[in-house]
Structure 1
Amino acid sequence: MADMPFFCMQKGIRMREPIVEPVKNPEPESSTTTVENKGRRDFLRHSAAGVSIFVASSPLARAMSFDDEFEVEHKTVRLRRLPEKLKGTKIAMISDIHSGPYMSHQEMLPFMKRIRELKPDVVLIPGDFVDRDIAQADPVCEALRTIEAPYGVYGCTGNHDYYADADYVSNELQNAGVRMLRNEHAVLDIKGEQLALIGVDDIGSEQPFDPAFRQAVQGLKRSIPNILLCHKPYYLDDASEWGVDFMVSGHTHGGQFVLARVLGTVITPAALFSGYIEGLYRRDRSQLYVTRGIGTVGIPVRLNCPPEITLITLV
């Protein structure tokens, strides 16, 4: 049977396996975490005096991450259609940088340094480069200029990039060496095999998922294994129906304020808005990884939820 373009596949009319509900935070086949010290921030510069006093005197202080550490999550993800030559491909991912008052250029540099040390084949950044102002594009662009990967650095827009100006931010990132996938795809040639990266603009800021995805895969062959960059993780069901192999997202910050973890379930107010908070999820033949990101929104505090760089090894 001749290979068909991706966009010829219509939701609801192709053969599908029985739906399996996503499991909250299942561990990948291989998973390790390393803790990194990224240097002290000036906490008083970032926080109101009242918050500072509360945290300093609270037994929660040790669980709250302001500045000291981030984690490198080492994950192994098995893709069902991955050619043998692509096994072992390493993908570094960060998200939700939120360049702005709580994430300066200087504070980004330890993350960039660690990414360089990990020596990934490709780097993915699924959105929220800035907090909400176009002036915040320059610091993150300067930081991202310091990283490179043999097969490139790729990103998609997030809702905060739209709060600023998604076109302006994307153009600046392109000039800094980040290939922005805005309802489009790129096909990587790695060791003579192909891997497709698909990126959609932030869903909800611009358009619904289906038209964005349909535009993004125009002309892409179905036979090529694919990874989707989509800022919000809510659209795993849609991605699964379109036949996406692996989707990467941010947006949730892992909850940012995590009250507890019970039997793999993250207890956080963010769960009121999304069933996908952090880690790996499955739906039919599709998988999703949600990173906790490295920035914050609201106040520069994380509870039981340290910033994350993810290193994914495809097998």
Structure 2
Amino acid sequence: MVSTVAISSSRIPPAFSGFRIAQVSDLHNAKFGKDNSTLLRMLSESGPDIIVITGDLVDSAHTDIDTALSFAKEAVQIAPVYYVTGNHEARLTEYGRLRTGLETAGVTVLEDKTVWLERDGGKIMLIGLSDPDFTVKGDMFGEVPSMAGTKLESLAGSEGGYTILLSHRPELFETYADCGIGLVLSGHAHGGQFRLPLIGGLVAPNQGLFPKFDAGLYTDDSTDMVVSRSIGNSIIPFRFNNRPEIVLVELCAE
């Protein structure tokens, strides 16, 4: 399914009103239709200005880099694609091959990097953080140690304006807000895997039971974070009350 989220802010340049971002997170080498034709059709019909992949494009337990690259090659025909890593990429011995293949396909790989999005004279900074597991390994129920704050301060600089961060990890939301990020697009939590009425998600990596950030929109002062329920599965092969989703974010200048 496609879930639409509207984000309004006085910091969004007027030129970016109506700008649409399609988010694909935690695909884990899943296939929806032959050669992911169903997923690609849904992306195309969403009419995105850009597509962002927020980590775990592949699954470290049953890695299929060719399938991941095939999806990427088709996705860039729909809209410019930007990619950040997840914890599963950090486990790959073949990550270099995946990164090179994505770049060859035309995907912009953001490993602790920034790019500027420009539209009709307006500019937004897009920041990508590499998954912290490339530096320090975490565990299923522990909080991941991270230098995200230091990295973000360095990457965002002091130019001001509206910033969008692609980062796999929603559990670091407080850090993102402290750095004044405008919008964070994240995944990793898989919607809490099993969603219970009035309670929400049951369990998520690095958040444990009843995770605080499992799915949807979270706001802290001037920072919004959208957490995708993701598309694929990993350790637990099924979901309950938790449909896979593409997230379509539409920006609106106030």
* TM-score normalised over the length of structure 1: 0.70
User: Do residues 252 (structure 1) and 180 (structure 2) align?
Assistant: no
Partner of residue 197, structure 2? 261
Tell me how far apart the structure 1 counterparts of residues 193 and 54 of structure 2 sit (CA, whole Å): 17
Are residues 297 and 184 of structure 1, via their aligned partners in 2, closer, same or farther at CA, if it must alter by over 3 Å? same
Q: Is the 8 A contact 2:193 2:242 kept in 1?
A: yes
Partner of residue 212, structure 1? 151
**Percent pairwise identity:** 29
SS at match of 1:145: helix
Partner of residue 190, structure 1? 119
SS at match of 2:247: strand
Are residues 286 and 149 of structure 1, via their aligned partners in 2, closer, same or farther at CA, if it must alter by over 3 Å? farther
Partner of residue 103, structure 2? 174
* Cα drift, residue 109 of structure 1: 2.5
Tell me how far apart the structure 1 counterparts of residues 192 and 176 of structure 2 sit (CA, whole Å): 22
Q: Is the 8 A contact 2:114 2:125 kept in 1?
A: yes
Tell me how far apart the structure 1 counterparts of residues 8 and 237 of structure 2 sit (CA, whole Å): 35
* Cα drift, residue 104 of structure 1: 7.7
SS at match of 1:120: coil
C-alpha root-mean-square deviation of aligned residues, in Å? 2.2
Partner of residue 305, structure 1? 242
* Cα drift, residue 150 of structure 1: 7.7
Look up the equivalent residue of 2:111 and give its one-letter code.
R
Partner of residue 152, structure 1? 80
* Cα drift, residue 215 of structure 1: 4.6
1:138-149 residue pairs with structure 2 within 5 A? 138-148=66-76
The total of aligned residue pairs comes to: 238
Partner of residue 296, structure 1? 233
Tell me how far apart the structure 2 counterparts of residues 198 and 109 of structure 1 sit (CA, whole Å): 29
Task: In structure 1, list runs of 5 or more residues that go unmatched.
Answer: 1-70
Cα deviation 1:54-86 (Å, max 9, x = unaligned) = xxxxxxxxxxxxxxxxx1101111123011111
Partner of residue 51, structure 2? 123
Larger radius of gyration: 1
Look up the equivalent residue of 1:195 and give its one-letter code.
I
Tell me how far apart the structure 1 counterparts of residues 78 and 37 of structure 2 sit (CA, whole Å): 20
Partner of residue 98, structure 1? 28
Partner of residue 73, structure 1? 3
